[in-house]
A = this chain, B = another copy of it.
C-alpha cells in the first residue's frame, strides 16, 4: 500500500532538479552566508575559541551534512547552546583561547561526531524521543538565561568568568566598577537596534512594498548591517585604541594549518560524557528544526540519516579546525524562506564562506566584541519561554515540573547537570506511566457477551470468579502493579477460587512478566485457586505455548471471556449483580 522509495541511492530531490532549482539554491546559499558570518564569529567566541574557528566550522560541515543528512534545508554550523556546552566542557581542562583549548574543541567535535555516527549506524534515531518537549524547552530556557548573563560582561567590556548563573552573577557584581563605558554605549546601542529590528523591521519593510518573504529575510539580516556599521565606526574613530574597546583582532587569512594528533586516552575519558551530551542536544535540536520545516513541505526527516549527517558534519568540523556544530534554527528558517530547494544551497554557502575566509578576513579585525555580544543576546532571548512554562504547568503538573527543574538545573549546576536531570526526568516519567497500567475487574453486561469494568457498569459476576483485564502489555515495569491489584482484590473477595486474566489488550509479555505469571500460578495453586486466561492474542499465545506457564497452568485457556463465564457459571452458581458506585 505504500509507494516505493524513488531510489535507494540518490536523494529524493535529484529527480526534479533543474535550472530553476539551481537559481533558488544559489540565492539561498548567498543569503545564508551573509547571516552566517557574524553568527559563526560570535558563537566561536561564546565557546571560548578564537573567532576564526566559527568560520572554519561553517564550511566543510555544511558539505558533509549535505552528503549524508535527510533534510533539504537544514543549515548546520555553530549554535549558541552547543557553544555554551563546549565552553562548559573545555573550561576545566584548558585556558580559553589557548592552542590546547582549540585542540580540545576539535577532539570534542570529533567525539560528538563519532557518537552520532555510531548511533546512526546502529539505527538508534529513536534517541531523539528520549527528551520530552518540556525538558527541551526547560533546557533551552536555562541555557539562554545562562548565555545572556554570561554575555553581559562582553557587552559592557568587563572581565569575569564563571559557568553557573550564580558564579556569573557574582563575577558581574565584583567587576561592576570595571565597566568600559564606550563598550557599553556601543554594545548597548547595537542591542537596542537589534531589538527594534527584530520587532519592527519586517513590518516596516513590508510597508515599503517589499514582499512578505523578502521582508522576513531582510529583518533576519539586521545583525549583519549592525555589525558592518559598528565595525566601520570602530575603525573610523579608532575606538579600540582610544577607548580600549575589545575587537575580534587579526584573523588568519585562508584555511588553518592543522596539526592533528591522536588525543590522549585521559582526554577522551574527560570529554566523552560532554561529547555525548552535545551529540544528544545537537541531534534533538536539529531534528526538531528539520522536522517542523519538513512537515510544512510534506517531506520526511529520517532520524537515522540525520544522525549520519550530523555525525559527518561534526567530524568535518574537527577536521576543518572548528568546534561542535548542529542545525541552527534561524539560519535554517532563512535558508528555507530564501527558497532553498536542495542541500546544494548549503554547498553554495560553504563555497561563499571559503571566499570570505580567503579574501575578507581583514574586514573583521575591528569588529567590536561588545557588538557580537549583542548579536548573541537578542536571538538567544527568544529561547526563554516563560509563557511556555506557565502553559505547560497549567496543562500538566508533571510536565511543568520537568520544565522548571531542567531550567533550574542548568542555571544552578550548569548545562551538563541540567541535561542529565532532563533525561532522568523524562525516563522516570516513562517508568512512572508504565508502572501504573489501567486494570479493571470486569463482569458481564446482563444479557450480552460484553464485559465491562464492575466499577463503571452494572454487570453480572460469579462469586467464585475474579476476572481481571489489564489494558497494557505486560513487562517488568508494570507486572508488580498487576500482582498488587490482584492481591488486593483477593483479600477483598476471599471466596474466589478462580482467577481469570483477560488478555485482550496484551500484545507482548516480557521474560520478567512471564516469570512472575509462572510464580503467580504456583502461589494461587498453593492457596487452592486456579489461574485461567482468556482472549490471548495469536502471537502472544504462540510464544507462551511452550513455556512452563501454559504447560503447568492450574486452570484453562479460554478463547473468549464469554466462554470462561459460561464454563464456570455452568454448575448453576448464582450470578451476583454489582451496583455501580455513585461516583462512577
Contact = CB atoms under 8 A, between A and B. Distances in A.
Contact of A399 (B295, B398, B510): B510
Contacts of A526: 296
A579 to B, nearest CB: 11
Given A1-B492, A2-B491, A438-B507, A477 B129 contact: yes
Contact of A431 (B130, B296, B491): B130
Contact of A396 (B303, B488, B511): B511
B476 A426 contact: yes
Interface string A457-497: 00000000000000101011110100110011011100000
A395 B476 contact: no
A134 B131 CA distance: 26
B392 A2 contact: no
Nearest to A424: B427
B519 A133 contact: no
A240 interface: no
A298 interface: yes
Contact of A511 (B131, B132, B471): B132
A306 B578 CA distance: 36
B435 A431 contact: no
Interface in A125-150: 126, 128-134
Given A295-B523, A476-B132, A543-B395, A430 B430 contact: yes
A483 B287 CA distance: 14
Contacts of A2: 488, 491-492
A7 interface: no
Interface string A278-319: 000000000000001001101010010000000000000000
A21 interface: no
A515 interface: yes
A468 to B, nearest CB: 13
A432 interface: yes
Given A491-B3, A523-B295, A132 B435 contact: no
Given A426-B476, A492-B2, A523 B132 contact: no
Given A392-B511, A475-B433, A129 B480 contact: yes
Contacts of A477: 129, 430
A22 interface: no
A37 interface: no
B476 A129 contact: yes
A400 B435 CA distance: 22
Interface string A18-33: 0000000000000000
A292 B515 CA distance: 12
B433 A395 contact: no
A416 to B, nearest CB: 15
Interface of A: 1-3, 126, 128-134, 292, 295-296, 298, 300, 303, 392, 395-396, 398-400, 426-427, 429-435, 438, 471, 473, 475-478, 480, 483-484, 487-488, 490-492, 505, 507-508, 510-512, 514-516, 519-520, 523, 526-527, 543, 547
5 cross-chain pairs, A with B, having the tightest CB-CB distances, nearest first: A132-B476, A399-B511, A133-B512, A295-B523, A132-B512
13 contacts: A3-B491, A126-B431, A129-B477, A131-B476, A132-B475, A296-B526, A298-B491, A300-B484, A400-B511, A427-B430, A430-B475, A433-B475, A433-B508
